[in-house]
Structure 1
Amino acid sequence: MTAPLWAESKEDTEKRIREAGAVLKELTEAGDKAIPRDFLERAQCVGVVPGLKRAGFLVGAQYGKGVVTCRTTGPSGWSAPATVRIEGGSVGAQIGAGETDLVFVVMNQRGMDRLMQDKFTVGADAAAMAGPIGRTATAQTDAQLHAEILSWSRSRGVFAGVTLNGATLRPDKDDNRNLYGDVTLKQILTGEVMPTPAASALLTQLGTFPPHKG
């Protein structure tokens, strides 16, 4: 089992959104060790989990709260960020104990549809792979281009591709209600909800990755 994740105050959730924006900026501007731009331009949705925790007494067990935003036709090109919970999986076993920053991208409509469910398990409901790193990575990643979810982590300064297989993702309904009122995850991610000012840095950074042409 994993540690419980209680609802946060609106202020705490907005702080997490700002942290997600900072993490995304750092991991997309790291030069040859960054998330490849091509994958961000192809992504339908992007998720960031700042400070994913691994429970030291349970091998591989981890839990965390993060945010997800999806492409829309609105002015910013991206939806307001929805808050999500991630539990389980083997990320902790791949990167060691302690806290980890996690970024994942949803690459196609099928993966996006899975994301909008009340709960889905990565690997069982959506195919996932570890993401490649660096500007030249796209030349050798045909397999990744066909995955529904790609993911990367940073732990104690080490940045690497990791797989989310076995992890469960679900909307954090209480935190989303604190931010936006009584709306569904789908309403948030399809652009029916206005983002709060806390999302400014996150959406600005995502705006530097226009949709892939061709």
Structure 2
Amino acid sequence: MDFRAATPAFRWLLPTLLVAGGLAASSGAQAKDKLDDAARAQRAVQVLRDIQAIPESAIPDRLFDEARAVVVVPDTLKIGFIFGGRRGEGLLSVRRPDGSWSAPSFVKLTGGSIGLQAGVQSADIVMVFHTDRGLDSIVAGKFTLGADAGVAAGPVGRTASASTDEQLKAEIWSWSRARGLFAGVSVDGAALSIDDAANQRMYGQGSTPRMIFEGRTAVRTPNALVDFSDTIEEAAAAAHSRRAVSDAPVAASATPTVAPAATAAPVAAPETQTAAPAASSAVTTEALPEPAKKP
């Protein structure tokens, strides 16, 4: 076989082979990224379930019941040596007007700090939006926690009080779980932004956060992301039910306090009855002598 004669044909096929190889590599990389996105969603689901499973470390029922949006960023890395940095990727789901929870949008949490610090730490971050103002800001673009919206370290425990809300004017409550400990944490200075690349990989090209929240994406929501919104919906419904039950004894306890007053009335009846025989005996005693005087 004369390979010199075949060379022009290979020269013609070479660009086609390179393009095909490039497309295959790009497709493989995109498939891997989608698997990573799905794994991120599964980790976020597990973080939320773990935290809510322990009453002493759960998000308070009142805050979860009144939440406008929930953000979960698993495996957030905090690296520090004089200059510090924080980076994590997570999910954001919002409460719809009918009370249900939307499909989640992918988000990124980034930030920096300066000070005497050193080391690497991985933590799970959970944020609960109490108002729509901070939510509108993140949908419109990146915003800075603490500057564009007030952030407070959240209390823990299902029955924990959040009375400091009025004092701090918190629009967002935040928690962190590191080394198994779940506690309120300050994330002031960190930036929260939409991860458009991940959204378009999972929901289709051109997908925006509003399209995702309103269920108008070209691609059906993947199961891993449905699990996230379902987990939040279940947790919020459970929190609402517990609040209703905890409020019920207050109304029920008012009834027994009235009951003793009602039962106290019959106590006076025996006194009246005992007085009546005393009067009748007196009348009988005075009436006996009269028949004896007739003879």
Q: Is TM more than 0.5 here?
A: yes
Match of 1:201 among 224, 227, 247: 227
Identity of aligned residues (%): 39
Matched, 1:69 2:69: no
Matched, 1:134 2:170: no
Letter in 1 for 2:41: I
Q: Of the two, which has the highest radius of gyration? A: 2
Letter in 1 for 2:63: F
- Give, in whole Å, the separation in 2 of the partners of 1:186 and 1:203: 15
- Give, in whole Å, the separation in 1 of the partners of 2:96 and 2:52: 21
Matched, 1:189 2:213: yes
- Give, in whole Å, the separation in 2 of the partners of 1:46 and 1:62: 19
Verify the 8 A CA contact 2:101 2:230 in the aligned structure 1. no
SS of aligned partner of 2:155: coil
Correspondence 1:5-154 to 2 at 5 A: 9-57=33-81, 59-73=83-97, 77-89=100-112, 97-138=120-161, 140-143=163-166, 146-154=169-177
Question: Unmatched 5+ residue regions in structure 1?
Answer: 1-6
Distance 1:20 1:183, change over 3 A: same
Question: Unmatched 5+ residue regions in structure 2?
Answer: 1-29, 244-295
Q: Deviations over 1:123-149 (max 9, x none)?
A: 111111111111232263433784111
Structure 1: which 4+ aligned runs deviate by more than 4 Å?
Answer: none
Q: Between Structure 1 and Structure 2, which shows a larger proportion of helix residues?
A: 2
Letter in 2 for 1:110: R
Distance 1:29 1:146, change over 3 A: farther
SS of aligned partner of 1:98: strand
Verify the 8 A CA contact 1:63 1:87 in the aligned structure 2. yes
* Pairwise CA distance, 1:195: 2.5
> How large is the RMSD of aligned CA atoms in angstroms?
2.7
Verify the 8 A CA contact 2:152 2:168 in the aligned structure 1. no
TM-score, scaled to structure 1 = 0.84
Q: Deviations over 1:68-109 (max 9, x none)?
A: 0101257x811111111110156xx99x74110010011111
Distance 1:144 1:77, change over 3 A: farther
Q: Deviations over 1:44-85 (max 9, x none)?
A: 1100000000124354411011110101257x8111111111
* Pairwise CA distance, 1:168: 0.5
